[in-house]
Amino acid sequence: MTVEATSHQSGAEASKARRVRGAKVITTLKEMRLTVERWRRNGKTVALVPTMGALHEGHLSLIREARKSCDRVIVSLFVNPLQFGAGEDFGEYPRDFKRDHRLLTAEKADALFAPAAEELYPEGFDTRVVVGDRLTQTLCGLSRPTHFIGVATVVTKLISLTRPHQVYFGQKDFQQTLVARRLVADLNLGCEVMVLPTVRETDGLAKSTRNVYLSQEERLAAPGIYQALKLAEGMLQVGERNPQDLIEAVRKRLRNETAIEIEYIAAKNAETLEDLNILTGNVLVAVAVRLGRVRLIDNVVVSVPAGS
């Protein structure tokens, strides 16, 4: 398999682990394993926060929570080529290693794991981790059919390498969190998947690395995504139980923003992603939209008592 290199550093920098005025930078699998083995041998608990870099407040909130729960915190920075489809923004995805390192040093991360692509996927690498269609061939998986294979593969490799007690994700990537929970359970990876609330801008827009792509006009329209989701949340809280009516109300609200192109709107069981005939239990309301060339996702989860 040929994988395009996606290191945050030059080849010389990527040759070994090093200390660079702050958070320890590790770029090889061997050094990552040895570091974790030493920590665990000394009785330390370990947390992993997987990221693709270009860190924002959402990522930092995960690191802070991980720090509260575990003795050592590893943050991975790896733009994973396997989860990008043809024509997606792999080559353009923001990369700013120096800034990320500075932020992680300020947050007192213990290790920054930033392998090159050829380190994580060496020549001859030919394995993929596939989670069942029920969780992956719906919502984002409909337009990105191989995306969650890439996600599941890299998450499995990162967990296997870092052996964390806890691994941290944000709710914005809700489908990804379900995929992670499933593979951790099915492959007996021995860690706890922690999912923390979405961090938002003051106007409600979910923090996302891709927000930097938005034009001024698109940024002004973008808060309409969360406003539409809050509308759905309110409807559920006052008794709406018909999924078609709920989805249509969300669609109408999103269409108020002419810059927004709707990819999907869904109301599903938040544990299984199954469709619901009656909106009850833990209901996931999820949307994916495009503003120009930028694809954004967001969601809310609402607990609806049975029979209410």
How far, in Å, CA of 268 to CA of 174, rounded? 12
Do residues 194 and 212 make contact, with C-beta atoms less than 8 angstroms apart?
no
Token pair for 175: 């489908």
Using CA atoms, how far residue 20 sits from 25, 33, 39, in Å, is 7, 20, 20
List the beta strands (DSSP E) in the chain.
18-19, 24-26, 46-51, 72-77, 111-113, 166-170, 192-196, 260-269, 281-291, 294-304
Token pair for 23: 């958070």
Handedness of CA 6, 7, 12, 14 (dihedral sign): negative
Shortest CA distance to 221 belongs to which of 157, 120, 294, 160? Answer: 294
Active-site residue numbers?
59
Do residues 105 and 20 make contact, with C-beta atoms less than 8 angstroms apart?
no
Residue with tokens 């909106």: 279
Three-state SS across 259-299? CEEEEEEEEEECCCCCECCCCCEEEEEEEEEEECCEEEEEE
Handedness of CA 46, 152, 156, 295 (dihedral sign): negative
- The DSSP symbol for 91 reads T
